[in-house]
Structure 1
Amino acid sequence: MMDINQLPAAFLAEMKTLLGVEYDRYIDSFREEWKPGLRVNTLKLQPERLKEMVPWKLEPVAWTEKGFYYDEGAEPKPSKHPFYYGGLYYLQEPSAMAPAAMLPVTPGDKVLDLCGAPGGKSTELASKLQGEGLLVANDISYSRARALLKNLELAGAANICVTSESPEQLAQVWPEFFDKILVDAPCSGEGMFRREDSMVRDWEERGPAYYGPLQRKIMEAAVGMLKPGGLLLYSTCTFSRYENEETVLSVLEKHPEIELVKLDLSKAPGSCDGAGLSGCMRLFPHRLKGEGHFLALLRKGKGGSSPADGSKKEVSQRKLSAGIPGKDMYSKTGEGQKNLQNFLSDIRMELDMSRVVIHQEQIYYLPQGLERNLPLRFLRTGLLMGALKKGRFEPSQALAMALKADQYSNVLRLKEGDQRILRYLKGETLSLAKEERPLTGWSLVMMDEFPLGWCKGMGMSLKNKYYSGWRWQ
């Protein structure tokens, strides 16, 4: 629990001005326990089904039907349960569920999560797309973008691109390209003071004066990437009016084609309107069960605006830092490709083979609408299906997580509670029981109907092929 005496005096003075008669209630909230949350991954199952499966008492989060509170001391820990490794849910602070919940994404949209790491909001945007359209998830930090990629692949998201670029570079490549954009901007983190002492230290070192100009710069790039008629949701986890309403006002003043779309406060009971800018949404820990957050929804008018400086043609002539060349799966011959084709024929997925490409022996299934040879630093372009190794094809962990229960026939289906589930997640070799049928070749290990990863069947013994970087620790 945060010691109130450690809070900066300048911050407390600003909060007193902002909250007025509610200030004492806000201070009292620091003496209360915060409630952790999880959000159901509807690429895998529906919320009601998960509630029936888990051993914890779950309380609904008001602003999303997919979100639930659980007790902080819950056992077994939700982060250690096999359901977590199956991608059935994402652990997320409840207020942080609001931005993706309030952005109206529909299947088929082209969506950008501009500041996406570690992936809580990106995974929810992917679940809203339901495998249709395109999700670009970006973080300027390469190490954070790696965590973002893991969480998207763990969730079974296939129609994704993960990039690590500056917003300005993305805007050069994708002018007026996206239907929906989420900017959960880096901020001074005042809304997280109650649960993270480190945010107080960061505020003292940098604070709103540092983050405000950065947020405006990010938003300028985001506006340039939004299609006419498109929606952009701006959010932070801070209370600072300079970082919140004033950032939105700066966009509205600079871009007459942008309008503020009023958010419905009834969707988040306990939320309140913006401070000096009506139509926004503020979440405070003394008003609801969650930490601090700010949201504003913007729409670009049908007339649009001038694209960002430069053009695709000019940018595409730059040297590629990463990307997938336009080489389809039939452009090579050999046992590896035949092996791949045989494997794909066993998968009951509808595949557009023109979107299956090979790059440096890696096999990718590109999202619909993604151009090739873009001058961006990609960590992933689409679904990594596997790799060609020494004349054979090896399917990827990402492919296993993206499959549905009925899309691959050669499976080892383990019931929840089977000790072999944990042994598999730890990377150990598995043995089949006498009554189980022998398995040969690539086999999908499943917990009930939820995929966990691959093994290589050798009769009654199974060689573990679970991705080593994800193993149970």
Structure 2
Amino acid sequence: MHSNITLPAEFLSEMEAIMPSHLNMEDFVAACQRPLRKSIRVNTLKISVEEFKTRANDKGWILEAVPWCPTGFWIEADESTVPLGNTAEHMAGLFYIQEASSMMPVSALFEDDSIIYDSVLDMAAAPGSKTTQVAALMKNHGVLVANEFSASRVKVLHANIERCGVRNTALSNFDGRVFGGWLPEQFDAVLIDAPCSGEGTIRKDADAMKNWSKASVLSISDTQKDLIESAFHALKPGGSLVYSTCTLSVEENQHVCLHLKETFGDNVEFETLENLFDKTELSITKEGFLHIFPQTYDCEGFFVAKIKKTGSVPAPTVKKRLGKFPFEKAPAKTQKDIAEQLFKALGVSLPKDSSVWIRDKDVWLFPNNLEPMLGELRFSRMGIKIAESYNKGYRWQHQVATALASGNESQSIALSVDDAREWFMGRDVRPEGISGKGEVLVKLGNDVIGLGKWVGNRIKNGLPRELVRDKNLF
């Protein structure tokens, strides 16, 4: 596919100089010229791995386990008529199309599954592959702050969070360098999948190396050092930080981590990743990092480091001017009333680790673990919007369906495949021979795909615009 890619001579010299002795340049270049194998990650907020395997088998999809991610699989599927992204299973949020190597940082962060994180920061979150992976491993508990510097990419991030049924996030739109001063020692864990030169992405982007230069690598490295310092300040003592990139240069990888060690000394402890999966010895560095060349596991080039913060360090001083917080926590009586009305209307219960907050007529559900941060940082979107209030009660919102419903609620209707296709295209549906009143959960099989409202024998479509697809559906 990419046999005509250009790899700059200076870049190849750099790679030859740092490549381990058991690897060779011929295999490296050949791997760079091969297309990536397609891979997916099962979203366990929606479906178990075993149930997904059964569905995949029924559809003729061939799955091969990704060794470093229990929910990750390389997949072979016939996409000649319907792309994987337009299948019913993807639209319902049952899986996420994610490059296999990019599953590794979150697996490293959650390597010890006995540790429960109540607060996690994903410092560079869009488009949401790692954010949704973290949320699934947190089981939607605690709070996950998902930050994205690029305002244009926050919409994509939110759409993926919405599709995957994530409800414990708070989104922000800042340069990641602010967190160390604004939220010092606030998080149990921090993930920084840092912006980088993208040397490892050539297999999916033939132009990835088009503007490569050693000068740009060194410039990006300076930014990465600032970001990892900020991440370290935001981390609680005893907490874990995972630093990752999809690039290969030591300047953007080992040198950034060693800079952190040089800056904070014994407060920085490198945690080896040698036991993360079989055959890590092919990629492990002397510090315990994983430096992965594309030919090693037939994936993207990648780097992952895990770091423990062993002691407190003084954080940067900042001046805060936040203004008045526009939400108010609902009184206990109001919270109880909303919970009762939601259960009566749709059979959906509110989770016990979240609370109702009100802004004008909008009703939101915030994770309780977010509360200590509400007066410290301005978030662009918190939790999920569950309702809009009006004179006679509440109009329930889409994320009640995707993030709170199980599919077993009585006030629900399973659509035919044809009607489900119409639904995902943003159109109202008329289930044959059925009518009703009020709001209703809409399903395909037992997968909840949205929330509609009966108007006679028609269900009015409530799918958010960013989730509507207009062609080539399942």
Q: Please say if residues 181 and 226 of structure 1, whose CA atoms lie closer than 8 Å, have aligned partners that are also in contact.
A: yes
Evaluate the alpha carbon distance shift between residue 342 and residue 266 of structure 1 in structure 2; reply closer, same or farther with a 3 A threshold: closer
Equivalent residue, structure 2, for 1:269: 279
**Is the alpha carbon distance of 1:323 and 1:211 closer, same or farther for their aligned partners in structure 2, counting shifts above 3 Å?**
farther
Is the CA contact 1:158–1:382 (under 8 Å) kept in the aligned structure 2?
yes
Question: 1:26 corresponds to which residue?
Answer: 28
Query: Measured at CA, do residues 222 and 79 of structure 1 come closer, stay the same or move farther in structure 2, by a change above 3 Å?
Result: same
Task: Report the equivalent of 2:297.
Answer: 288
2:405 is aligned to: 404
Question: Counterpart amino acid of 1:71?
Answer: E
Percent of paired sites with the same residue? 28
2:356 maps to which residue?
Answer: 356
Q: Is the 8 A contact 1:262 1:279 kept in 2?
A: yes
Looking at structure 2, the residues matched to 466 and 385 of structure 1 have their Cα atoms a distance apart, in angstroms, of 14
Which string of whole-angstrom CA distances, capped at 9 and with x for unpartnered residues, describes residues 165-185 of structure 1?
122332233110101110000
Write the distance in 1 (CA, Å) between the matches of 2:468 and 2:239. Answer: 40
The question of 1:78 aligning with 2:81 is answered: no
1:269-322 residue CA offsets vs partner (Å, 9 max, x unmatched): 3663455x4300122221112111100000011x32223324xxx53xx134x9
In the alignment, is residue 157 of structure 1 matched against residue 166 of structure 2?
yes
Tell me the SS of whatever aligns to 1:242.
helix
Assess if the C-alpha contact under 8 Å between 1:4 and 1:30 holds in 2. no
Alignment deviations for residues 124-167 of structure 1 (CA, whole Å, 9 cap, x no partner): 00000112111111011111122111111211111110111122
Distance in 2, matches of 1:358 and 1:331, equals 13
Q: Amino acid of the residue matched to residue 78 of structure 1?
A: L
| Structure 2: unaligned runs, 5 residues or longer | none
Aligned alpha-carbon RMSD (Å): 2.6
TM-score by length of 2: 0.89
Matches within 5 A, 1:449-460: 449-460=446-457
Q: How big is each residue's C-alpha offset from its partner over 1:347-376, in whole Å with a ceiling of 9 and x where there is no partner? A: 432445982011132211111122264353
Secondary structure of the structure 1 residue equivalent to 2:240 = strand
Stretches of structure 1 lacking an aligned partner (at least 5 in a row): none
Inter-partner Cα distance in structure 2 for 1:448 and 1:393: 27
Greater CA deviation, 73-82 or 31-40? 73-82
Is the alpha carbon distance of 1:205 and 1:395 closer, same or farther for their aligned partners in structure 2, counting shifts above 3 Å? farther
Match for 1:35: what amino acid? R
Q: What is the aligned partner in structure 2 of residue 319 from structure 1?
A: 322
Please state how far the C-alpha of 1:420 moved relative to its aligned partner: 0.8
Deviation at 1:243, TM superposition (A): 0.5
Any residues of structure 2 matched to 1:387-402 within 5 Å, and which? 387-388=388-389, 393-402=394-403
The equivalent position to 2:314 in structure 1, one of 290, 306, 323, is 306
Match of 2:68 among 63, 66, 78: 63
Of the candidates 31, 38, 41, which is equivalent to residue 39 of structure 1?
A: 41
2:206 counterpart residue number: 197
CA distance in 1, matches of 2:316, 2:466: 39
Q: Is 1:470 aligned with 2:471?
A: no
**Partner SS for 1:439:** coil
Query: Partners of 2:316 and 2:219 in 1: how far apart?
Result: 24
More deviation, 33-42/454-463:
454-463
Change (3 A) 1:72 1:432: closer
Correspondence 1:322-341 to 2 at 5 A: 324-328=326-330
Distance 2:69 2:121 in 1: 20
Q: Which residue of 2 aligns with 1:461?
A: 458
What is the CA–CA distance in structure 1 between the aligned matches of 2:423 and 2:55, rounded to whole Å? 21
Change (3 A) 1:323 1:23: farther
Q: Distance in 2 between matches of 1:177 and 1:403?
A: 27
Letter in 2 for 1:219: I
Deviation at 1:63, TM superposition (A): 1.1
Q: Could you tell me how far 1:460 is from its partner in structure 2? A: 2.5
Q: Which amino acid aligns with 1:247?
A: V
C-alpha distance in structure 1 between counterparts of 2:274 and 2:338, whole Å: 53
The Cα shift of 1:210 comes to 1.9
In the alignment, does 2:138 pair up with 1:129?
yes
The CA deviation at 1:413 is 1.6
**3-state SS of 2:14 partner:** helix
Shift of 1:48: 1.7
Compared CA separation, residues 161 and 389, structure 1 to 2 (3 A): same
The residue type paired with residue 123 of structure 1 is: T
In 2, Cα distance between the equivalents of 1:119 and 1:160? 11
CA distance change for structure 1 residues 5 and 440 in 2, over 3 Å: closer, same or farther?
closer
Question: C-alpha separation between the residues in 1 aligned to 2:446 and 2:405?
Answer: 8
Aligned to 1:446: 443
* SS of equivalent to 1:217: helix
**2:126 is the counterpart of 1:117:** yes
- Residue of structure 2 equivalent to 1:234: 243
Deviations 1:29-86 (A, max 9, x none): 1343320111000001111211211322122111111111123753531101011111
Number of residues of Structure 1 aligned to a counterpart in Structure 2: 458
The answer to whether the 8 Å contact 1:165/1:377 transfers is no
Taking the aligned partners of 1:129 and 1:414, their CA distance within structure 2 comes to 31
Using the TM superposition, give the Cα deviation of residue 255 of structure 1 relative to its aligned residue in structure 2, in angstroms: 0.9
Partner of 2:94: 88
2:53 aligns to what?
51
Deviates more, 1:259-268 or 1:115-124: 259-268
Structure 1 pair 362–203 and aligned structure 2 pair: CA distance change class (3 A): farther
Aligned AA (2:426): G
Question: Alpha carbons of 1:5 and 1:133: their partners in 2 closer, same or farther (altered >3 Å)?
Answer: closer
Opposite residue 95 of structure 2, the aligned amino acid is Y
Which residue does 2:432 correspond to in 1? Answer: 433
Q: Which residue of 1 aligns with 2:107?
A: 101
In structure 2, the CA distance between the partners of 1:411 and 1:107, relative to structure 1 (3 Å rule), is farther
Following the alignment from structure 1 to structure 2, what is the Cα–Cα distance between the partners of residues 463 and 17? 62
1:159-178 pair list within 5 angstroms: 159-178=168-187
AA at the equivalent of 1:398: Q
User: Is the contact made by 1:44 and 1:88 (CA closer than 8 Å) also made in structure 2?
Assistant: yes
Paired position in structure 2 for 1:179: 188
CA contact (8 A) 2:198 2:208 kept: yes
- Give the whole-Å Cα distance in 1 for the aligned partners of 2:414 and 2:388: 25
**Quick one: distance in 2 between partners of 1:44 and 1:202?**
41
